[in-house]
Structure 1
Amino acid sequence: MKKLFLYFTLIVSFVSYSQKTSHFLNKIDKTTVKFDGIVSDEEISNAAEISLKYEISPSYNTEALRSTIAYVTYSETFLYVGIKAQRDKIISNIINRDDWAMYNGDAISIELDTYGDARNQIFLVANPSGSLLDAIRLDGRGYSGSDYNLKKKCKF
């Protein structure tokens, strides 16, 4: 009976555990962000902190070996995403816009599920050299590739 109770308790604890999937962002004055390649403590003091626990390269959806934290906030006109990635060596090439070869080096991708359906999203990618890739993924059609160009600024 004790084993059954212990087993039941473990199952209930695993089932009732959930990860935080929503983050509430604080609005900031855009003058607090300075694009100088350094994510300062002042800039991220009111930002939502998101620990990026998984990576897609060198293997898909495996636990990240090094710490990477995203800091997200917004102003009246912009969404700000700051990344602190702990790396010994950064691999970053200058790539033509919308070239999937960007994933041959270090890159950050952000997928915005603007419809809230977990199938369609706006896909934004940047690397430390300032190369950009943007696309729209539509369910059943894949990625739009270079047909879609979002007006965005990427500064490092």
Structure 2
Amino acid sequence: MQKIQTIAICLSILLTTTNLLASEGTVQQVSGDLVYVTGMNGLAPLWSNLTVQNGQDTGAKLEVIKELPELVIARVVEANGTAVNTGDAVVLSSTQSDASARKARRIVYATRVDKNPNVDGALDDPVWSRATPIRGFVQRDPNYWMPSPEQTIARIIYTDKSIYFGFECLVPDSSQFIANNMRRDSEISGDDNVQILLDTYNDRQNGFFFFVNPLGAQSDLMLSNEGRTYNRDWDCNWVARTKHYPDRWTAEIEIPFSQLRFKQAADATWGINLARYIP
């Protein structure tokens, strides 16, 4: 079982105001920066702006990034110093029906550090505490876009020479994960594994795909033609190490910038997809 985890003016103003006042939902659950809201299907289309109501105070600002049959899923864009809790009321602030379909649904940040971590899989170097934890991994199957029951936490840091990824993969019992391969570029798609897809030009045309299983086996490939073509013969010079604990396994990964193609910029924006496959 796989879980893997944008007319008359007066009349228009009147109708919009009426709809906004009537559009209220309730927080069903929160996972990382994702907020699952009931009661707003059909009222809050993709890219709508929502506001959480915490009693008499105005809480977090949200943006709708996914519509499901009985839920809308929004990401927190401004926390406003308040937590979002199950049962909170949510109101529609505005809609943005003309937003680009290529707009990023979620945003993560890499933290620059002066000293690189020791890549041994432990994630215990002090530099990792500076990274913003990435939570809220969602399932692809069987419960599409719902939170995964087995939590995954990722972090990203970088130096002048490399970008580093840290993964914490929680499991009820670390002896239960499935991993059968240890060789480089072996077929690990059936193993428990973490995945990194880097679209370094942020054009959704080409990318670099990396896989690591709990035994530290590494696999990589290069994507082109919007992901329809891939090159398994591409071999990147990168490092991955893993560790096992009673309730989790961890992966620490270093990818040198020299192994990637990208535009040099002071503030670069890359496309990225982080995933965990659980057999």
Please indicate, yes or no, whether the TM-score normalized by the shorter chain is above 0.5. yes
Higher fraction of helix: 1
1:1-156 alignment, distance < 5 Å: 5-7=21-23, 10=40, 11-12=43-44, 15-16=48-49, 17-18=63-64, 19=75, 21-31=106-116, 33-40=117-124, 42-56=126-140, 63-87=147-171, 88=173, 89-99=176-186, 101-139=187-225, 141-145=228-232, 147-156=233-242
Task: Tell me the C-alpha RMSD between the 2 structures.
Answer: 3.0
CA contact (8 A) 2:185 2:218 kept: yes
Cα displacement string for residues 39-69 of structure 1 (whole angstroms, at most 9, x for unaligned residues) = 2272421113211512456777653111100
Structure 1, unaligned stretches of length 5 or more? Answer: none
CA contact (8 A) 2:118 2:125 kept: no
How many angstroms does 1:137 deviate by? 1.1
Query: Where does structure 2 lack aligned partners over 5 or more consecutive residues?
Result: 1-14, 26-39, 50-62, 65-74, 78-105, 243-279
Identity of aligned residues (%): 24
Instruction: Give, in angstroms, the shift of residue 37 of structure 1.
Output: 2.8
Measured in 1, the distance between the counterparts of 2:189 and 2:148 equals 16
2:119·2:240 contact (CA, 8 Å) conserved in 1?
A: no
Deviation at 1:73, TM superposition (A): 0.4
Using the alignment, how far apart are the partners of 2:151 and 2:125 within structure 1?
17
Seen in structure 2, the aligned counterparts of structure 1 residues 106 and 60 have a Cα distance that, compared at 3 Å, is farther
Higher relative contact order (CA 8 A, sep 6+): 2
What is the CA-CA distance between 1:70 and the residue it aligns to?
0.2
Q: Which has the higher strand share?
A: 2
Q: TM-score, normalised by structure 2?
A: 0.47
Moved over 3 A (4+): 7-10, 55-63
Structure 1 distance, partners of 2:139, 2:184, is: 23
Q: Could you state the TM-score of these two structures normalised by the residue count of structure 1?
A: 0.78
